[in-house]
Amino acid sequence: MFSNTQRFKLNNIDDDGKKPNFLSILGVPGFFCLDVWRASMGELIGSAVLVFMLDTIVISTLESDTKMPNLIMSILIAIVITILLLAVVPVSGGHINPIISFSAALVGIISMSRAIIYIMAQCVGAILGALALRAVVSSSIEDTFSLGGCTITIIASGPNGPVIVGLEMAQALWLEIFCTFVFLFASIWMAYDHRQAKALGLVTVLSIVGLVLGLLVFISTTITAKRGYGGAGMNPARCLGPALVRGGHLWDGHWIFWVGPTIGCVAFYVYTKIIPAEHFNAEYGYKHDFVGVVKALFGSNV
């Protein structure tokens, strides 16, 4: 999440003053950089712990007798995410979410190769976290709460037999898009802008990230109030882990948890290109910016 041109110098274009070749523009050398793969271990372990903790929180709060389990769940999620980010930031930059990695690659903070490696590590970590959770919960808990995974609908008992309850796919998709954009705009933006990150401090920024995510979980589960809808995922890897381990109805509408965030990331990137340069990256100049890379590929100086 936090990065500067020196930190990712190994992947930057033209860092040595040399004319970049086709492979370096695409960030291909990053796939052969041992340090990038070593850093991805932080993403893998962080994602595994994240999935285990978040899904445990989802199950335990829904299982409790509290009147507003979604409020308690949101608060606990905010705390856990903040702690995990503080643990992973020194290792890999603290993404533990494909949304952040993909968005950072589009904006130009990291290379696309680093983003791809991180996302793969996050997905593997999410699977391991889901497997760890499955190993410690009973089969009845696993069935009742779908291993804490991301759901659009569930099969519930009705007066005339089993019925499918939940949210319409269009509504769920829009929630993913909106929540992803708000997440990036309201919190990750502070980490991307080095001036704000430096002024606010690491702990403050990461606390805001956790708080915003917790609020979005609370909002998405409250405004819909639909049984069967688990709230906005805002982390495709976290949704993938339980879906692969548990299967079944967790695959119903699973594409939404990938397509929605992707659209939200692109929308946020468009926003960063619209605002005046002096309000964002004028001092640092992110060399991996997607449009900049495309221009470099085609030899454009525009």
Single-letter amino acid, residue 210: G
Q: Cα dist. 294→8, 67, 160, 178, 241 in Å?
A: 20, 52, 57, 27, 33
Q: What is the pTM of this model?
A: 0.86
Average pLDDT value over all residues in the chain: 84
Half-sphere exposure of 76 (CA within 13 A, CB side): 17
pLDDT tens digits, one per residue of 224-252: 767 778 889 999 999 999 999 998 889 98
pLDDT tens digits, one per residue of 4-59: 433 333 333 343 445 556 566 667 778 888 999 999 999 999 999 999 999 999 88
pLDDT tens digits, one per residue of 269-278: 999 888 876 6
Q: Where are the domains of the chain?
A: 23-147+169-297
The predicted pLDDT at position 256 comes to 96
Residue 206 has pLDDT above 80, yes or no: yes
The top-level CATH class assigned to 23-147+169-297 is mainly alpha
Residue 292 has pLDDT above 80, yes or no: no
171-205 in b/e form (b: 16+ CB < 10 A) is ebbebbbbbbbbbbbbbbbbbbbbeebeebebeeb
The CA distance from 71 to 109, in Å, is: 34
Provide the 3-class DSSP secondary structure of residue 253. coil
225-251 in b/e form (b: 16+ CB < 10 A) is ebebbbbbbbbbbbbbbbbbbbeebbe
Q: What percent of the chain has pLDDT over 70?
A: 83
Q: What's the burial of 278, exposed, middle or buried (CB within 10 Å: 0-12/13-18/19+)?
A: exposed
Nearest to 83 by CA among 165, 206, 195: 206
The predicted pLDDT at position 296 comes to 73
The CA distance from 268 to 107, in Å, is: 9
Provide the 3-class DSSP secondary structure of residue 268. helix
Task: Mark out the alpha helices in 4-138 (DSSP H runs).
Answer: 22-26, 34-63, 69-92, 98-107, 112-136
